[in-house]
Amino acid sequence: MADFTGKTALITGSGRGMGRSHAAILAARGAAVVIHDINEAWAEETARRIRDKGGRCLVACGDVSKPGDMQDVVRRGEAEFGGIDILINNAGISAERAGLDGITEDLYERMFGVHVKGTIFTTQAAVPGMIARRSGRIVNISSIWGMTGHHFGATYCAAKAAILGLTKAWAKEFAPHNICVNAVAPGAVKTEMQVEVDGLEAVKAQAKAIPLGRLAEPEEMSYPVIFLASSEASFVTGQVLSPNGGDTIVGV
């Protein structure tokens, strides 16, 4: 089991769901954690749970689609813990439930603002410190839909596919600085957001279509993320892991 003692991790969108799980596991394994979310109450609840178990964390809230907010989040994390060693670009919003004629400019801007702009500019803020230390791990959270597409949610699919492109490009750009960049593309996960958007019955029906017969628990997404963030993945970069219960099986 990888030990993160002495490391600092920033997890965007870690107020609940998968992000909260990533933060909790990293903290349990010794990392100092910068908890980010746009919702301060959610972020504080994540922090409370971590501190109750003896973990070290800092709450730094902001809008991931605003570069200035994320520069401030990174600066606060660096000031508190000395540097950001691990960046998990996790913040996201759910897919639109509409066809082409339902896409508005506002929806497009929001989808790409959170997923793509947020990933780019949070990374831009965190990478200089990694370069200075000649060490870093970046894990970008994409989606199975960024790999396969879906009959609704075109802008979500496109934004999550863009994250895969960023991952592959940055893996090559940052490799000379000993910074590894990878992506996790989750399948269906049992989170609050999933139930809020689709409803419980639709989620149950979706689970039946997955070969393993169920949705993933959030921690089942966290373990691949934690692996890619660890020293055990020191020769892994530019790769995409998709824990999806067999929903999509990609051959080499």
Residue 213 contacts residue 190 (beta carbons within 8 Å): no
C-alpha dihedral sign at 191, 192, 196, 201: positive
Angle, in degrees to the nearest 10, between helices 40-52 and 17-28: 30
Q: Where are the alpha helices (DSSP H) in 10-153?
A: 17-28, 40-52, 67-81, 105-112, 118-133, 144-148
Task: Give whole-number Cα distances, 31 to 64, 128, 137, 219, 229, in Å.
Answer: 22, 20, 13, 17, 11
Name the residue type at position 50: I
Q: Is 156 a catalytic residue?
A: yes
Here the tokens at position 29 are 């394994």
The residue with tokens 């979706």 is 206
Where in the chain does DSSP place strands (E)?
8-11, 32-35, 56-59, 86-89, 136-141, 179-184, 240-241
Q: Which of 4, 156, 170, 174 is catalytic?
A: 156
The residue with tokens 């500019």 is 121
Contact partners, residue 91, CB within 8 Å, separation at least 6: 12, 13, 19, 36, 37, 38, 64, 114, 115, 118
The residues annotated as belonging to the active site are 156
